Chain A
Amino acid sequence: QKEVEQDPGPLSVPEGAIVSLNCTYSNSAFQYFMWYRQYSRKGPELLMYTYSSGNKEDGRFTAQVDKSSKYISLFIRDSQPSDSATYLCAMSPNDYKLSFGAGTTVTVRA
């Protein structure tokens, strides 16, 4: 079993729709949770960063962490074609080593 599981998609949605992405994990020591966005031929860029359980909102993006279920989510509201990318979840216990999901490829159709 992989330490972090992420549905690779692909996910295709019309412009303006809500995009819902999620990851599950097995290591209960994870405390820090991140979402990265990766455009084609680019390196991953940090999108959201949360600590422990709860919600965090930043503009059109909302990250949720449910440690009891070992489940994290990212929601993108009012999706735009520019949101088309691969989204990676990542998590860490309390050190520099991150465990990544395989990434979900999202296409937002104009």
Chain B
Amino acid sequence: SAVISQKPSRDICQRGTSLTIQCQVDSQVTMMFWYRQQPGQSLTLIATANQGSEATYESGFVIDKFPISRPNLTFSTLTVSNMSPEDSSIYLCSVNRGLVAFFGQGTRLTVV
């Protein structure tokens, strides 16, 4: 398994502002993943963060909107930029052990 600490756990933000979410893992991992979980919808992969290289974004997600940092093998941040109410969602950090994903507790974001 993996212990993943994510913060903040929740936040309410004004539209047009940005929020940075932090993710800390208890052991070194090559890849860290960021997901979005919207009400009633599947978890959607936003991007894969590799240490020492640019993040790889999935279709529909762009770096300008969701910049990601990966400064070392146990830490990553996801920024939600220029937020709108449509960005209200749960954002989850994840790492794999083999092919099985383990998740942080999530960040519940509300944009008003």
Give bound CA distance, A7 to B108, whole Å: 24
| Cβ–Cβ contact B105 & A42, under 8 A | yes
| Cβ–Cβ contact B106 & A92, under 8 A | no
Question: A90 near B: Cβ within 8 Å?
Answer: yes
Question: B57 near A: Cβ within 8 Å?
Answer: no
Give bound CA distance, A54 to B48, whole Å: 31
Residues of B close to A32: CB separation below 8 A: 99
Sorting the interface of chain B by its residue count into under 10, 10 to 19, 20 to 34 or 35 or more gives 20 to 34
| Cβ–Cβ contact B106 & A43, under 8 A | yes
Question: A95 near B: Cβ within 8 Å?
Answer: yes
Question: B78 near A: Cβ within 8 Å?
Answer: no
| Cβ–Cβ contact A102 & B102, under 8 A | no
Give bound CA distance, A44 to B100, whole Å: 12
Give bound CA distance, A42 to B102, whole Å: 12
Residues of B close to A88: CB separation below 8 A: 43
Given contacts A2-B42, A96-B31, contact A43 B100 (CB under 8 A): no
| Cβ–Cβ contact B92 & A43, under 8 A | yes
Q: Mark A84-95, 1 if CB is under 8 A from B, else 0.
A: 000010101011
Q: Mark A63-103, 1 if CB is under 8 A from B, else 0.
A: 00000000000000000000000001010101111111111
Q: From the candidates B6, B96, B105, B106, name the one contacting A96 in the complex (CB within 8 A).
A: B96
Q: Mark A41-64, 1 if CB is under 8 A from B, else 0.
A: 111111001000000000000000
Residues of A close to B40: CB separation below 8 A: 8, 102
Give bound CA distance, A41 to B6, whole Å: 13
Chain B nearest Cβ from A35, distance in angstroms: 11
Binding site for A on B (CB under 8 A): 1, 4, 6, 9, 31, 33, 40-43, 45, 48, 92, 96, 99-106, 108
Give me the 7 closest cross-chain CB pairs, A-B, nearest first. A43-B103, A100-B43, A100-B42, A43-B105, A43-B106, A102-B42, A44-B103
- 14 further A-B contacts with Cβ under 8 Å, apart from A43-B6, A98-B43, are A8-B40, A32-B99, A41-B9, A42-B105, A43-B103, A44-B101, A90-B43, A90-B101, A94-B99, A95-B99, A96-B96, A96-B99, A99-B42, A100-B43
